[in-house]
Structure 1
């Protein structure tokens, strides 16, 4: 075995598919790319996400307490990286990258039309946001875009490389302890 730096732990335990997060501050929507998030519980569905003060979206999330987490497909890979490499305080990312918006039902930030899924969220806990930039969000609604042909998701490795997920392994018959979950 080869030892690697402990600072690279996130490359081994990556948190899930790369996502895009929309926020809205005083009617101005913004979008950012996020790689650090996790499911915390099933019901109510709680999501932990790391958004730090270095992100333009941070203040909007702190002030409004709402966002949309959108899951892009592989066909949006270059856009996802480009969105993550510029700031919404200087750039209208929707216009620059041709991101199509749709109104959400329960929150002000928009849904991203071209993503596989959009999750409308409200912040329910900020106790760890000052020390760890960790926000706890409750999923209020989820929208699935069934018309998307590209269904593969990207998983960030932390160095500009991604793992592409696309296959499925079905072991439902072995999940006897968890059959009660939806």
Structure 2
């Protein structure tokens, strides 16, 4: 074994698909790129999301307590990276990056049709926001873009490095304890 920089360990414990987070504040929508999130539980579906005061979307999330998490595919990876490299305080990112939006069914933030999935969320816990910038979100509605079934999501490994989901290994027959969660 050799030492490894602790501040780079997040690149090994990769949190999941890169997400786009849509918010709306005073009727003005914004979108940001997020690489740090996690599933917390299945029922109700809770998601932990790191959004800090350095993010323009932070104020809207604190104020309105809702957002849309969109899972982009590899087909728009360059847009997703570019969205993360500018701020909503000076750019209308939906226009700048030619994103196709549609109204959500429950929350005010828009969904992004260019993405594989859209998950409407409500903030249900903010106890860890001040200390860790961690919002607990409950998924209240979800949408799949059937036109993008063959497009893969991608994962962030830090410093501009991404991986694309690839080969799937199905071991459902071994999941005897968790059969209730299988599709």
Query: Secondary structure of the residue that 2:83 maps to in structure 1?
Result: helix
For the residue of structure 1 that corresponds to 2:146, the secondary structure is: coil
Aligned residue for 1:180, secondary structure, equals helix
Give distance in 2, aligned partners of 1:118 and 1:49. Answer: 15
Partner of 2:79, secondary structure, is helix
Name stretches of at least 5 consecutive residues in structure 1 with no aligned partner: none
The CA RMSD over aligned residues, in Å, is: 0.9
Cross-structure match for 1:139: 139
Aligned to 2:102: 102
What is the CA distance between 1:151 and its match in structure 2?
2.0
Structure-2 residue corresponding to 1:122: 122
Q: Which residue of 2 aligns with 1:20?
A: 20
Partner SS for 2:180 = coil
**Structure 1 position 152 matched with structure 2 position 161:** no
Report how many residues are paired.
Answer: 182
Deviations 1:7-53 (A, max 9, x none): 11100101001010000001100000000000000000000000000
Instruction: Report what 2:35 is aligned to.
Output: 35
The whole-number CA distance in structure 2 between the counterparts of 1:76 and 1:34 is: 15
Offset, 1:166: 2.8
Gaps of at least 5 residues in structure 2 are none
Moved >2 Å (runs of 4+): none
Q: Tell me the distance in 1 between the aligned counterparts of 2:26 and 2:150.
A: 34
CA distance in 1, matches of 2:71, 2:162: 15
2:56 alignment counterpart: 56
TM-fit CA distance, 1:4: 1.3
**1:75 aligned residue:** 75
State how far apart, in whole Å, the 2-side matches of 1:35 and 1:150 are.
22
- Alpha-carbon distance in 1 for matches of 2:95, 2:150: 22
- Contact 2:47 2:139 survives alignment (8 Å): yes
